[in-house]
Structure 1
């Protein structure tokens, strides 16, 4: 197992470093370290306007979200083994050519990702805070405790989504039952105690008041979730033959009013057959946003009366922009290279499919507005969410073309993305907080979004597409 694990780590590093250079990729954790180190010096200022407990809560929530984003292994397991890794001839696909079971390989794959992304994201952030702690008056023990609890937060998100996604792969009915039970449990806590369930998050409790029994209980719960998830994974699923009806022609007719209807129809079929329409919506959008709502609601006293809804709409818009990665996840330019199809044409098709998917965040924000008694602000909130989503996606298309999943680890690309999107978020957060109706002004973001996409077509048509 150790040999396979080490080779998988080497393989992951070589794949990333080949895509955007060893030095550029190696600088990514350095950038995370720098952000954490410099941000630590702002903590004394933040504490004057916000309790330290809320700052800790939002930090732990961020790493919980990171775990959610990395954790949908069970859902994507079939497609990962069959499409992405099969095309790249990675070790994760070696069950068909070597005397190794799919269960054994997949277990190594999961452990590899746990450790790999820990050193890529979590450890650099924790190290930055640890080295800054002497200058801001934080005890070393407290800084080390933060690294531990952030690690547990990351593992919590990863293991929970990993568990739910493997349940989803086995039985969708059982998954929805679990989600309903979880929602009912959170609702009961709020109704009976009047306390936000986010305050009972174990890693946060450990950070605020460390105790060995709670630490051991948290580790045991994560270990059980991990073990059950691996046990539920079915490596034989890739061997099943599925028969599907010809849905291309009907979709082509329905999408005839769109630009490039054949590409949009193909993308929707790919999303449906890979399980991404339901699975990605649930695990990459609804569940993360539901958790974010509990954490954001704790900031209610520090926001304007309508601020919570609009802050949530902005966050939802940023997450909704990642739907562009859904439609590019299993596709690359290689198969199209022998056809009279330009990269710009494919980008247009992907943007069209992305636009169709925006019905999901629109309906979600509208439902949140109604359920929270903010129906009067429904239209401005939906407009703000979609404007942010299209703008962030436009920046992503311009910077990454058809490869948003991998180029995010290019430090130069990520810095430019964060600067452009962060500037827009700062401006329109202030505008929306000033007055709900002012949020409609965010429609102006559609202009730079369109310009970014237009520039992207020219830019990526001039680049020889890389594939693997």
Structure 2
């Protein structure tokens, strides 16, 4: 039965390497290693501002969220493969033709994700960190035993994230309405408690607690948070094999009438229907965006009490700008330009249509951010909104230039991801530093608008040339 696990590992590599190229994808963990190494070289500077415990907190929550994102991507794999490769599918969704149970297949699927992304993400991250501490004073992080513990606890955080998403997907498979109701309730709860949390609340994550103060109880609790949701997901696993073809009423014409007669109305209507009718539907906005966003707000609210010099609203505006750019990924996730090759369109026309849809979707984070800013500090509403809008525009312009209509694919290329990080990380760090001097320093980011428009123009011309070569 180990053959299924090995086949899934091979399948994961072949799927990614066929999309990104063998060398491009192989460079991805190398980039993570180098990025972590160079960032860790300035660890002594960070330790003048934050404690070792706060650095550890950041690491563990990053991998907790990474586990959640990997789990969500894996569970959308069937639709992704169908849209990109016709009737191709993942082994996990082929249980009808395999002489083993669906539960056994999905248990292997879960184990495959843990092993595969441990090698791809966690191992190079810890290796880069471990190499850096050989060259700089690292305090408590310098000991080999601590680094081995870090490898274990980051893996636990990652697995907690995967198992939680796997469990939520099982709840959704049985009743999407119940899940959405729970997510709405969780969103309101996060908003309610965001102003009442103390820093100790976030250190209660068992994997983080075990790293800071090794304890059998915390290790056991980490195992419970991984095994119980995973076991419940497998016990109540539900895979639908629809017998009839889905049919929908004609909503396209109605949407086009609502949007008017401007140039990209038909494309925006199509994007809206694609998002609504894909797996998860409009629930993706709640599940993949609003809930993580409110979790980030809760974390930053607590962080503001720990490090008063950092502006919670500025940090949130930066995070929101980065997260909102991911909505461009949603809009291009299942669309390929070859589907429109017979139409008198250029690649830039398709990108512009996606940007129109992107602007409409950005109303969601804009409303959320406005409400939270009015609650937190109404006087800083204007500079905070300008910061969010300019960062969002800049982020999506860099995405367009580097990845065109395939950001979900091209960003996994090691070289492209390195260029992306080099384009955005210095800017984000500069804004964090400027935020310590007051909110109105965000007005400096207005200079990003002409830069972003210039990058967009270059991106349009670049992808027009590339698509012409293809055809």
- How do 1:71-110 residues align onto structure 2 when only pairs under 5 Å count? 71-72=71-72, 76=76, 79-80=79-80, 82-84=82-84, 86-95=86-95, 104-110=104-110
Displacement, 1:112?
Answer: 2.2
CA 1:24–1:115 in structure 2 vs 1: closer, same or farther (change >3 Å)? same
Secondary structure in structure 2 of the residue aligned to 1:339 = coil
Q: CA deviation at 1:42?
A: 2.4
Q: Determine whether 1:293 maps to 2:281.
A: no
What's the CA shift for 1:226?
Answer: 1.6
Contact 1:20 1:410 (C-alpha < 8 Å) held by counterparts? yes
Q: Which residue in the other structure is 2:117 paired with?
A: 117
Structure-2-length-normalised TM-score: 0.88
Give the CA deviation at 1:107: 4.2
Change in CA separation of 1:24 and 1:73 when aligned onto 2, cut-off 3 Å: closer
Question: How does 1:54-65 map onto structure 2 within 5 Å?
Answer: 54-65=54-65
Gaps of 5+ in 2: none
Hey, what does 1:4 align to over in structure 2? 4
Number of aligned residues? 466
Q: Residues of 1 paired with 2:95 and 2:354: CA distance? A: 33
From the superposition, tell whether residues 172 and 377 of structure 1 become closer, same or farther in structure 2 (CA, over 3 Å). farther
| Contact 2:256-2:265 within 8 A present in 1 as well | yes
Instruction: Find out whether 1:218 has 2:222 as its counterpart.
Output: yes
Compare 30-39 and 127-136 and name the one that shifted more.
127-136
Deviations 1:229-261 (A, max 9, x none): 344442215546444221101111222354321
| Higher mean displacement: 185-194 or 18-27 | 185-194
Q: Distance in 1 between matches of 2:200 and 2:194?
A: 6
Tell me by how many angstroms 1:27 deviates. 1.7
CA shift, 1:50, in A, is 1.4
> Would you say 1:139 and 2:143 are equivalent positions?
yes
Aligned to 1:449: 452
Structure 1 residues 6-405: aligned runs within 5 Å: 6-72=6-72, 76=76, 79-80=79-80, 82-84=82-84, 86-95=86-95, 104-135=104-135, 136=137, 138-179=142-183, 182=186, 197-239=201-243, 241-256=245-260, 258-275=262-279, 278-301=282-305, 307-371=311-375, 373-405=376-408
Match of 1:439 among 442, 449, 456: 442
The Cα of 1:87 is off from its aligned counterpart by: 4.5
Unaligned runs of 5+ in 1: none
Q: Structure 1 residues 223, 86: closer, same or farther in 2, change over 3 A?
A: farther
CA distance in 2, matches of 1:35, 1:349: 34
Measured in 1, the distance between the counterparts of 2:287 and 2:448 equals 27
Deviation at 1:339, TM superposition (A): 3.2
Relative distance call for 1:128 and 1:179 in structure 2 (3 A) is same
Structure 1 residues 388 and 186, CA gap change in structure 2 (3 angstroms): closer
Residues 183, 286 of structure 2: 8 Å contact kept: no
- In 1, distance between residues paired with 2:195 and 2:315? 24
Residue 445 of structure 1 deviates from its aligned partner by 2.4
- Separation in structure 1 between the aligned mates of residue 266 and residue 5 of structure 2, nearest angstrom: 41
Further displaced range: 403-412 or 7-16: 7-16
8 Å contact from structure 2 (residues 347, 467) kept in 1:
no
Q: Is the 8 A contact 2:29 2:124 kept in 1?
A: yes
| Deviates further, 438-447 or 448-457 | 438-447
Residue aligned with 2:240, SS:
helix
- Relative to structure 1, is the Cα distance of residues 73 and 344 closer, same or farther in structure 2, using a 3 angstrom cutoff? closer
Secondary structure of 1:71's partner?
helix
Q: Provide the C-alpha distance between the structure 2 equivalents of 1:105 and 1:346, rounded to a whole number of angstroms.
A: 39
Instruction: Provide the rounded CA distance (Å) in 1 between the counterparts of 2:75 and 2:277.
Output: 12
How far has the Cα of 1:465 moved from its partner? 8.4
Change (3 A) 1:362 1:277: farther
Deviates more, 1:94-103 or 1:214-223: 94-103
C-alpha RMSD of the superposition: 3.0
Rounded to whole Å, the distance in 1 between the matches of 2:49 and 2:145 is: 25
Distance in 2 between residues matched to 1:312 and 1:323, nearest whole Å: 17
Q: Deviations over 1:50-84 (max 9, x none)?
A: 11111111111211221222222587366346535
Alignment counterpart, residue 423 of structure 1, candidates 412, 421, 426: 426
> Which of 420, 443, 465 lines up with 1:462 in the alignment?
465
| 186-195 or 206-215: bigger deviation | 186-195
Contact 2:126 2:147 in 1 (8 A): yes
Distance 1:21 1:191 in 2: 46
- Judge conservation of contact 1:36–1:128 (CA < 8 Å) in 2: yes
Give the Cα separation in 1 of the matches to 2:100 and 2:6.
16
Cα distance in 1, alignment partners of residues 113 and 348 from structure 2: 33
